[in-house]
Structure 1
Amino acid sequence: MPRTYGTTHSSMAEFNRSRIVQILHTQGTRSRAQLARQLHLTPAAITKITANLIEANIIEETGAIDGLMQRRSIGLQLNNQAWHVIGIKIARSSVTLAIFDVRGQIQHQHTIEHIHESDVQDICQTIKTAVFTMLQNDPSIKAIGIAVPGPYLRNEGRIALATSVSGWQSINFKSEFAQSFPVPTLIEHDARAGAVAQSLFGTFENLPDTSPSTHGSHTIKQANTNYLAYYLLGEGVGLGIISDGILLSGTLGTSTELGHVSIDVHGRPCECGNYGCLETYCSAAAVHQTMMNHSSYFLKHYQVDPQTLTHEQAASWLIAHYPSDDSCITDIMTSAYEAIAYGCVSIINAFNPSIIVLGDTLAQGGDALLSTITHICKQRVLPELWQSTHIVTSHLHVDATLLGAGAIATQELLAHPSSVMQHP
């Protein structure tokens, strides 16, 4: 996301370092001459800046590449293995920690599962212990990103509401984690972190054309990721929006809280105090609850006890058995997929993104889910808006929220390379 820099010599130097590392991150290997031309800087300035970055082990020279005017030049690239970040995904009933390189490739992953109300404070200490061990074992770790459920009050550092495991509401994440480690530590709402991951690491080429006149018969080359929505369908429901390249957050940091938008004012009561919230119909927790309401049926016909499953396990089991001739499974999943589709209608009408990326547990629905979304959106969205919107499931190699935690840390390093230099 765009950053604001001052006009002092040091701030302009940081700005130019950032521009160079971001080009190398998004475009790959470049020569000094190519960088000078692209950034409208003199060759002497580029040589000085890149020498500084090489000395700091942030970038490195490669072999000769084809440069300008077909001349062979020495290439420059990011030193991926010298830059590692920790990503931490805090879900309602689990926590996952991972180490990523600057390209988003996972190096190590560890999950703490089956978290209950009484465990939350102890889990925070467990997270700290794990992070300090990672830092000790891997000195290339330069930043930490933490993704938390919403609504997350960014300025205060706490979650306003954590359905299912409300104990997380007692934690102030800023005071608990932000200053606890010797490297920069950033905290972000889970769906917004997922949006950053999609923007930084996602690929959106050869997407099907949604125009009714083409019936999907041809493709477009690439969606505009400056207008991207990440629709999180996990234990809760969340939304991250990038509009004109800016990650939307709102006055308190709780904007785009789609999970608590009512789709039925007379519907199911929600822990937030509202009725008919989207999250009560299509989250993993919601479909698990519906499955538990029919526990005896699943025990009798499938020898599966929903009471023993986690939210994710229950949702994944239902997805794997749908479509089905079983009316109970069909009713549960059809209702959930239709609710997800109505969420897409709201996203398109409210934010007009170029692409909506579905991620987390319920996004495993694949073609059956996308078919339901397409059917409902064609009925309920203006044709002009529908034709300009592309809806896909996440193709990231790692859970988007976990990678998003790593992505916000990576983004910080790309925007402020001096933070890497200060933590050798």
Structure 2
Amino acid sequence: MLDTPHRTDPGALSTAAGNVGSDRSGKGTSTERDAPHEDFVINGKFMSQRMTGVQRCAYEFATALQRAESEHRRFAVIVPADAKTTAAPFKTRTAFSWLKGSLWEQLALPFASGRQILLSLCNVGPLIKRRHVVMIYDMAVFDAPSGYSRKFRWWYTFVFFSLKLNARHIVTVSEFSKSRIRAALGVPDSKVSVVKLAADHFGRIESDMSVVARLDLKKDRYGLAVGSLAGGKNHARLLAAIERLELRDDFKFVLAGGNNARIFGNSGTRAAGEAEKVVRAGYVSDNELKALYENAAFFVFPSLYEGFGLPPLEAMYCGCPVIVSREASLPEVCGDAALYCDAYSVDDIAQKMTAMMNDTRMRAMYRTRGREHAKQFQWAKSASRLLDTISRTR
């Protein structure tokens, strides 16, 4: 999660247009004169950030929307000057090159988007923009506040209530998140739509097996967990469960992901340091992550809170058997394609990992179920639903 907004004076649009820089695109370029022909524009702040979490989802949505673009449905991604657009498969337009980060998003973007509908895909957008469709992934700052710093919680409380008042429509990623947004913010049902995420972007990613060699791993001889060390990810219980496993000498457990103390405070860091049996891979690229998924004996995700839960779906797509908790959105997303554990029971988490580790037939069954289940979630379908939602809010 991250960011904020503002409203633009229509009379200032010509000035704003004069300050918009050159356009860049993997599809070709355009000038600001092309803007009136665009059906909507996308908040491209995510193009200047590390491609993790919601930034990854935003990139995949923009890519899928580009593929669905037609003569009657065109868009551009408005980006700050520090955006990484060289290989972007969609049209980008740089605006107000002297501003960056949240200042760019809150001050420059409302002017650059003018009277067009703005689509923000990363929880935040210009708070004063009214022709605005914003994607909010979860209500974790309200539902699981202990996993975030006080400053982060305060900021997102302010952001979400501002977006509730000013944004024209909210999109979220699961029925669970929709129910929590309605309850936490008091938003009517008609103002929130559900567009689910997908994992088929892993189909175009090439596995980087160097991470397997670097960590000295063998196929089907390690368990895998992926995610930040936020308290809601339940890594303290997971690591305690790992300590109870009777691991064979050649079996390891890999924890991939980062810990941002500015966002998560100190949650989870002490537990991570106490788990001697864990190989901590740190931040890994998409290519490395695919290799880890493909070669793991199982993937475990005992999260206490998820707005969607993309990692289990990614693991399924890559043919990795999955263990998840029954909390929040996870049953909605994983269906009968995962083995479920009690997120609050260290013993149960350990038992489910032991069963998956030792039972080759069980692994084969969940590997097959997972692959078939993941096929139902496609970015093209999600983009089509998102386009329909935008059309209804014009």
Note whether the superposition's TM-score is higher than 0.5: no
| Structure with greater contact order relative to length (CA < 8 Å, sep ≥ 6) | 1
Classify the TM-score, shorter chain. 0.3 to 0.5
Compare the two structures and name the one with the higher strand fraction. Answer: 1
Larger radius of gyration between Structure 1 and Structure 2 = 1
What TM-score comes out, normalization by structure 2 length?
0.34
